[in-house]
């Protein structure tokens, strides 16, 4: 996306949850990228579209309720609007909640007259029997008002038209002013802000009364909410959905993973033919090292993510997730955090890196940090295969009952990691991240039917491909290193085995052994690699024997397997996650904390287990 000198800059503002991103995505398509506002940690998405021969750069400013400059997001938005950077500001409003949205509109109008108001989600308003007189609204606000249903693309062309006309100075505007220009205010800053805030709210109420008719009642929504937040029904549905998503992800990913492995195997064969005449060490390094590792990471990571993230995004867009946060808030409040951490925690089951990014929904910085630091305590998709493989190999018999026992054990492990998250959150909030739980006010958006097709495409692009890209970028060099240390021999044995031997005493203390510990270290690029690293170290990666036999043959006992599973749950985050923590916190110190916290938990737990079991 290149900005040309003649492009116009359009700022996009609005409350959270009004469909601002939908408008942004519809207008800019794939022609967008995200970056930081210079010098700040607020991420802004910029995109470009062309309309009737002109180029427009659309800047998606953070969702905010007001411009009083109390938070970083508000400051950035207010600055942007007031600066000469924006040629036009588009304020996106939710038609089902117009009165509250007008608060922001009025504040924007106080700063600039080049505004186009976009009243979105008109279809939802219609369903709620809310009628908005858009022309009356336009009259009262003094700036153009366009009604849209961004999800269907309705009204967007008219919006582009108004923006164009505005940039050309073709629309006379007389924006309504809320704050009286005359007279001075006596009182301190706090009271002044209060006074101003109330002015805006009252004006918004006035205008809303003149333009909106209808009750906005939707009985089926109230009924659904009753079920989803009920004492028994709510919890039951939540657990069922969680189990369901897990099961779907794990089961559904099996076949695609195998296909991908077959595909990559075939491709690898072709590559080796191509590299026939290359020096052997080079072709082996590239094929068995770089290519094989990257191929494995991708084939194991891609299918579960491609299932998990779209489902998660669908639940998110539908509006279900805030209800989960609502149900769990009390428990998290007791740990010094808030219900929204439940959501980033759930994301973490898909991928810890995505979970860390998901912590952005937690407004309070202190609680956000707690959520970020504890996210790695829940197992991501990459760790499930190891857990399942070890459970099946060491703890369960065959047959129907076996499958059920395995599921129960897995659930038990998941519950353990959730409990650990609560415990660690509690400790953090009392020690490193001490402070009062702050300003919790969570809006519960009305239920909306998500556009399934669009959601799938969006989540695949934004989350899956992005995370996968990062993972592949790390897997390639990692594969190189792994090949080197397993094939370079020093005094008879490979470097890999030397390392394993060196780490053996530590490993044994933790109920495992040097090989396992080395495998975990080598699994830093991606947790999916750990099991194959173990097999590699045992020179058994191509063995046809069942896993249980291979491992028992190498001296494993069920205690070893148990400690390995515990360490799998609680050890350092994978490289992608560490990178993401650094990007989100901007601090090396906290990133280190993010690495040490789960590791410490794992070390203590395994040592304890080892002590008790021996």
Partner 1 sequence: MKTVEIQLSRLAEGQQGTVRTLEQKGSMHRRLQDLGLISGTVVRCLRIAPAGSPVIYEIRGAMVALRTRDAEKIWVTV
Cα(first)–Cα(last) distance of the chain, in Å?
61
Residue 578 tokens, joined: 């560490």
Task: Determine the Cα–Cα distance for residues 346 and 100; give it in Å rounded to an integer.
Answer: 30
Closer Cβ to partner 1, 50 or 217, answer by number: 217
Q: How far is the CB of 359 from partner 1 (least distance, A)?
A: 19
Residue 222-261 contact track with partner 1, rule CB under 8 A, x = bound: x--xx--xxx--xx--------------------------
Least separation in angstroms between residue 207's CB and partner 1 is 13
Binding-residue total with partner 1 (CB under 8 A): 43
Q: Quick one: tokens of 523?
A: 């699994």
Instruction: For residue 511, give every residue at least 6 positions away whose Cβ sits within 8 Å of its Cβ, in sequence order, or none.
Output: 559, 560, 562, 563, 606, 607, 609, 610, 613, 614
Q: Please select the residue that binds partner 1; options are 316, 317, 329, 367, rule is CB under 8 A.
A: 329
Binding-site member from 327, 347, 561, 578 for partner 1 (CB under 8 A): 327
- Residue that is written with structure tokens 């492990």 in the block: 413
> Cα dihedral sign for 221, 224, 228, 231?
positive
Residues 90, 159 contacting (CB under 8 angstroms): yes
Out of 26, 97, 370, 517, name the contact with partner 1 by CB under 8 A. 97
Binding-site string for partner 1 from residue 62 to residue 81, where x marks contact by CB under 8 A and - marks none? ---xx-x-x-----------
One of 440, 454, 540, 541 touching partner 1 (CB under 8 A): 440
Angle at 409 between CA 405 and CA 413, to 5 degrees: 170
Q: Note whether 425 and 362 are within 8 A (CB).
A: no
Contact 323, 450 (CB under 8 A): no
Q: Which of 193, 541, 552, 599 binds partner 1 (CB under 8 A)?
A: 193
Closest separation between CB of residue 312 and partner 1, Å? Answer: 21
Rounded CA gap, 475 and 576, in Å? 10
For the bound state, the minimum distance from the C-beta of residue 445 to partner 1, rounded and expressed in Å, comes to 8
Block residue for tokens 């089926």: 220
**CA separation for the pair 597, 604 (Å, rounded):** 11
Site string for partner 1, 8-47 (x = CB under 8 A): ----------------------------------------
Rounded-to-integer distance, Cα 340 and Cα 350, Å: 16
Residue among 197 and 607 whose Cβ is closer to partner 1: 197
Name the segment binding partner 1 (CB under 8 A); options: 51-59, 80-88, 144-152, 199-207.
Answer: 199-207
User: Which residue lies nearer to partner 1 by CB, 161 or 365?
Assistant: 365
Interaction of residue 442 with partner 1, rule CB under 8 A: yes
Distance CA 575, CA 572 (A): 9
**Span 473-532, contacts to partner 1 by CB under 8 A:** none
- Furthest-apart CA atoms within the chain: distance in Å: 89
Q: Which two tokens mark 199?
A: 């002015």
Q: Which is nearer to partner 1, 331 or 360 (CB)?
A: 331
Q: Which of 438, 493, 539, 545 binds partner 1 (CB under 8 A)?
A: 438
Looking at 42, 140, 201, 241, which residue binds partner 1 (CB under 8 A)? Answer: 201
Q: Is 337 in the site for partner 1 (CB under 8 A)?
A: no
Token pair recorded at residue 485: 């240390």
Determine, following the binding rule CB under 8 A, whether residue 189 of this chain makes contact with partner 1.
no
Structure token digits, residue 403: 């499958």
CB-CB contact of 256 with 300 (8 Å)? no
C-alpha to C-alpha distance for 504 and 269, rounded to whole angstroms: 37
Contacts of 151 (CB under 8 A, 6+ apart): 19, 22, 123, 451, 454
Among 7, 72, 99, 126, binds partner 1 (CB under 8 A): 99
By CB under 8 A, name the one of 103, 293, 376, 513 that touches partner 1: 103
Q: Does 217 bind partner 1 (CB under 8 A)?
A: no
Nearest distance from residue 202's CB to partner 1, in Å?
A: 8
**Which parts of 458-603 are beta strand (E)?**
489-490, 493-494
Among 444, 476, 508, 579, interactor with partner 1 by CB under 8 A: 444
Closest approach of Cβ 223 to partner 1, in Å? 12
Helices (H), 275-350: 280-284, 292-318, 321-333, 340-350
Q: Does 96 bind partner 1 (CB under 8 A)?
A: yes
Select from 353-361, 408-416, 440-448, 457-465 the region that touches partner 1 (CB under 8 A): 440-448
Please identify, using beta-carbon distances, which residue of 68 and 466 lies nearer to partner 1: 68
φ, ψ dihedrals at 88, nearest 5°:
-140, 145
DSSP state at residue 154: B
Q: Which residues sit at the interface with partner 1, rule CB under 8 A?
A: 65-66, 68, 70, 96-100, 103, 193-194, 197-198, 201, 204-205, 216, 222, 225-226, 229-231, 234-235, 322, 326-327, 329-331, 333, 339, 438-446
């Amino acid at each position: 996306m290149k900005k040309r000198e003649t492009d116009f800059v359009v700022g996009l503002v609005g409350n959270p949850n009004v469909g601002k991103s939908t408008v942004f995505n519809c207008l800019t398509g794939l022609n967008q990228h995200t970056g930081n506002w210079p010098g700040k940690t607020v991420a802004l998405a910029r995109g470009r579209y062309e309309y009737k021969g002109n180029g427009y750069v659309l800047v998606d400013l953070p969702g905010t309720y007001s411009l009083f400059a109390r938070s970083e997001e508000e400051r950035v938005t207010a600055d942007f609007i007031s600066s000469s950077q924006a040629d036009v500001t588009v304020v996106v409003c939710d038609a089902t909640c117009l009165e509250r949205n007008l608060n922001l509109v009025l504040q924007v109008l106080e700063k600039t007259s080049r505004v186009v108001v976009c009243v979105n989600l008109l279809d939802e308003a219609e369903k709620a029997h809310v009628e908005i007189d858009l022309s009356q609204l336009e009259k009262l606000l003094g700036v153009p008002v366009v009604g849209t249903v961004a999800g269907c693309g309705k009204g967007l062309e008219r919006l582009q038209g108004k923006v164009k006309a505005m940039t050309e100075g073709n629309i006379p505007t007389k924006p309504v002013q809320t704050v009286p220009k005359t007279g001075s205010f006596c009182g301190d800053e706090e009271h002044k802000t209060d006074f101003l805030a109330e002015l805006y709210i009252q004006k918004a109420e006035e205008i809303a009364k003149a333009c909106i008719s209808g009750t906005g009642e939707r009985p089926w929504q109230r009924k659904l909410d009753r079920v989803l937040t009920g004492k028994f029904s709510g919890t039951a549905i939540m657990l069922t959905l969680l189990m369901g998503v897990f099961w779907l992800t794990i089961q559904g990913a099996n076949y695609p993973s195998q296909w991908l492995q077959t595909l990559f195997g075939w491709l690898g064969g072709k590559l080796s033919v191509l590299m026939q005449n290359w020096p052997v060490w080079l072709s082996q390094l590239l094929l068995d090292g770089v290519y094989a590792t990257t191929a494995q990471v991708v084939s194991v990571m891609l299918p579960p993510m491609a299932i998990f993230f779209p489902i998660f995004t669908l639940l998110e867009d539908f509006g279900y997730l805030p209800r989960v946060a609502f149900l769990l808030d009390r428990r998290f409040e007791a740990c010094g955090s808030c219900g929204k951490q439940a959501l980033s925690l759930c994301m973490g089951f898909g991928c810890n890196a995505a979970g860390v990014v998901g912590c952005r929904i937690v407004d309070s910085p202190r609680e956000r940090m707690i959520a970020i630091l504890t996210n790695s305590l829940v197992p991501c998709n990459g760790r499930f295969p190891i857990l399942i493989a070890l459970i099946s190999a060491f703890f369960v018999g065959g047959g129907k009952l076996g499958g059920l026992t395995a599921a129960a054990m897995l659930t038990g492990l998941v519950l353990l990691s959730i409990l650990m998250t609560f415990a660690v959150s509690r400790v953090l909030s009392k020690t490193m991240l001490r402070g009062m739980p702050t300003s919790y006010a969570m809006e519960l958006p009305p239920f909306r039917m998500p556009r399934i097709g669009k959601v799938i495409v969006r989540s695949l692009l934004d989350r899956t491909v992005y995370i996968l890209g990062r993972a592949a970028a790390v897997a390639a060099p990692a594969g190189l290193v792994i090949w080197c240390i397993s094939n370079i021999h020093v005094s008879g044995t490979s470097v890999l085995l030397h390392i394993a031997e060196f780490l053996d005493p530590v490993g044994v203390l933790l109920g495992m052994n040097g090989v396992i510990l080395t495998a975990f270290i080598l699994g830093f690029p991606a947790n999916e690699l750990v099991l194959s690293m173990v097999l590699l170290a045992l020179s058994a990666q191509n063995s046809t024997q069942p896993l249980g036999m291979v491992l028992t043959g190498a001296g494993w006992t069920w205690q070893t397997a148990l400690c390995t599973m515990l360490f799998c749950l609680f050890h350092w985050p994978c490289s992608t996650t560490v990178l993401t923590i650094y990007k989100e916190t901007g601090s090396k110190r906290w990133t280190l904390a993010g690495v040490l916290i789960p590791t410490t938990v794992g070390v203590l737990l395994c040592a304890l287990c080892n002590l008790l079991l021996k």
